[in-house]
Every structure is written in C-alpha cells, then in structure tokens.
C-alpha cells in the first residue's frame, strides 16, 4: 500500500456553504417539481410548496455570499485560477475528458495531481466557475423576480417579460437536476469512491506521497 499524505483543501466556510447548498438544492428541486407539475409527486400542498420554495431560495441566496465572500477575501481564490496559460488549460481539460471517457475504464491514473492550491482539475475549475458565477446567480435573480412580479415589474419587462424569466428559471432547474446526478458521480471517482465526499466533510484530501 502506498503512503498517503493528508492535505487541507476545503476550509470550513466552503464546507458549510457546500452542504447547506446541496440540501437546499434538493429541497428546491422537490418543491419546484411540486409547483410546476402539481399532480406528479403529491409531496405537499401547492401553497406549502410555494412557501417552502421561497424560504429555501432566500436562505441559499444568503448562503451563496458565504462562498463568494470567502473566495473574494482570501488567497484561496487561486484554486480557481491555478493556470494562467489558456493553452495549458485546454490541453489539461482535454486530457481530463479523455480520462473520464476512456482511460478510467482501463485503470489509467488520473492525470490531475492534487495540492493545496491546485485542488481542482482543469474541467472542474472551469465548470465550477461557470456554475457559481453565472448559472447560480442567474437562477436566483430569476427566482427573486418571479417571487414578486409586481414589485419587480420593471426588471421583468427589461428581461423580456414573465415568460422569458420563467423559461430561464425552468431551464436552469433542468440543468441543476441533471447536475445533482452527474456531480456526485464525478465526485465518486477519487482513489476510493468515498474519498472526495469525506474530504468535503473533514476538509482533508488524502493523496499519494
């Protein structure tokens, strides 16, 4: 057996944000399905689903700023930009894709080597940035507009009307529902299936010395 070294990769604010966010997303997906497809799952009344969806939505908007604030005000922001050369970034992304699509099934080693300031592979750092800086904010901005159409009627019209705002919100809901299935699968591809999950709980990732 190879010697393993423990590296602290997920600071406490990130772990708190992450698990509150994951639970919140599951609640938002379930209540969202209940609101949109009233008879499909029959979990609770329409009114209860709307009320819970709004509350959890607001909590997650606040929670997002824990994540953003942490990265903006610490040097850990470097984990999202370890590589400044776009050529190297795209070459590493391609290698990582080859590994997930093919190499992993032949037992090839993961091309990404983790360290404290390099905890994400090239695909992760790009995907997480698009998700956290574009898709999550878009989801909650459209959610807040739909929450009080009267108060935000000016902004709703600016974005093209209720149908546009609602369609963007629902398309993102479909994306996040798919994401919440694919993301844990990819997270289970560590040196053991539970390694990355444990790391997101304890903060420490184990790597070969």
**Chain positions contacting ligand HEM, by CB under 6 A:** 10, 14, 18, 21-22, 25, 124, 128, 131-132, 136, 180, 183-184, 187, 196-197, 200
Nearest distance from C-beta of residue 2 to ligand HEM, angstroms:
21
Nearest distance from C-beta of residue 55 to ligand HEM, angstroms:
17
- Name, in order, each residue with C-beta under 8 angstroms of 64's C-beta and a sequence gap of 6 or more: 17, 21, 132, 136, 137, 140
Distance of alpha carbon 133 from its chain centroid, rounded?
10
Of 186, 209, 196, 208, the residue nearest 9 (C-alpha): 196
Q: What whole-number distance in Å separates Cα of residue 143 and Cα of residue 35?
A: 13
Cβ-based nearer residue to ligand HEM, 152 or 191: 191
Residue in the structure block whose two tokens are 């360290």? 115
Cβ-based nearer residue to ligand HEM, 18 or 95: 18
β 204-208/4-8 pair status: antiparallel
Nearest distance from C-beta of residue 158 to ligand HEM, angstroms:
26
Cβ-based nearer residue to ligand HEM, 22 or 30: 22
Cβ-based nearer residue to ligand HEM, 118 or 183: 183
């Amino acid at each position: 057996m190879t010697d393993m070294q423990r590296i602290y990769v997920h600071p406490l604010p990130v772990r708190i944000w992450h698990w509150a966010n994951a639970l919140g997303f599951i609640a938002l997906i379930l209540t969202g399905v209940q609101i949109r497809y009233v008879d499909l799952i029959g979990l609770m009344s329409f009114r209860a689903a709307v009320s819970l969806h709004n509350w959890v939505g607001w909590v997650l908007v606040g929670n997002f700023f824990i994540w953003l604030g942490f990265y903006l005000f610490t040097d850990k922001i470097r984990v999202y930009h370890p590589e400044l050369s776009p050529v190297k970034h795209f070459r590493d992304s391609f290698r990582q894709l080859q590994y997930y699509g093919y190499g992993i099934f032949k037992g090839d080693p993961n091309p990404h080597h983790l360290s404290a300031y390099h905890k994400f592979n090239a695909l992760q750092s790009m995907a997480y940035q698009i998700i956290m800086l574009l898709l999550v904010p878009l989801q909650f901005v459209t959610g807040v507009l739909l929450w009080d159409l009267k108060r935000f009627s000016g902004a709703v019209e600016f974005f093209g009307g209720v149908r546009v705002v609602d369609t963007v919100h629902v398309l993102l809901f479909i994306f996040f529902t798919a994401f919440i299935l694919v993301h844990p699968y990819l997270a289970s591809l560590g040196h053991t299936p539970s390694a990355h999950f444990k790391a997101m709980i304890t903060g420490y990732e184990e790597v070969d010395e």
